[in-house]
Amino acid sequence: EEDRIDLFYEEALGLLKVFGDNGELIKLLNHPNIIQEEKLSVIDNIFSGRVSEEIVGLLRLIVTKDRCREIPAIFAHFTRRVRDYKGIGTAYVTSCVELSREQKEKLTDRLLQVTPYNSFDVDYTIDPSILGGLVIRIGNRIVDSSLKTQLDRMSRRLEEIQL
């Protein structure tokens, strides 16, 4: 209603990092011998003034409902939903050599043409074992045009022929 989705998204990403880097914080919030008021005080002391009142309120609600273990999952789910809402996709691209800036731009343009997303965050990795081509993963879809996979397919076909 207040068009603050970008603010909440950035805060959620920050909280994911805080809770990911500080496993002790989750342990503290889940400790059975620490009373709820102390846990709420910890939330207020750490996050008040650093994130929006709405996010602090959500954290307080999570503590009140004794769901502290689920804090990272809750904020990860929220960030995924925001990305879906904004049409931002995530692609994982594996190549055998470093791609040039121009190749990366062409790949991103092509991904935007063939998917419903408005933009992409692309994570590039290099794996010389694929020999050539690309392996692209978006969500649960994988496009494997690697030379290694093509050679494996050809090898299986040749083995079938020899039987």
Stretch 15-23: mean pLDDT, rounded? 92
Mean pLDDT of 37-47: 94
Decide if 19 contacts 11 (C-beta within 8 A): no
- pLDDT for res 163: 58
Instruction: Work out the mean pLDDT of the chain and round it to a whole number.
Output: 92
For the record, the structure tokens of 147 come out as 């030379």
162: confidence class by pLDDT, cuts 50, 70, 90: low
Dihedrals phi, psi of 6, to nearest 5 degrees? -65, -40
Residue with the bigger pLDDT between 45 and 2: it is 45
- pLDDT score recorded for residue 54: 94
Mean of the pLDDT values across residues 18-37? Answer: 91
**With contact defined as beta carbons under 8 Å apart, do 59 and 70 qualify?**
no
Give the pLDDT score at 158: 86
pLDDT digits (tens, 9 = 90+) for 74-133: 999 999 999 999 999 999 999 999 999 999 999 999 999 999 999 999 999 999 999 899
Question: Who contacts 41 (Cβ-Cβ below 8 Å, separation ≥6)?
Answer: none
DSSP state of 97: S
- Give the number of other CB atoms < 10 A from CB of residue 33: 5
Q: What is the mean pLDDT of residues 144-161?
A: 88
| Percent with pLDDT over 90 in the chain | 79
Longest distance between any two alpha carbons in the chain, whole Å: 73
Give the torsion through C-alpha atoms of 74, 78, 81, 86, to 10 deg. Answer: -170
Residue 123 has a pLDDT of: 95
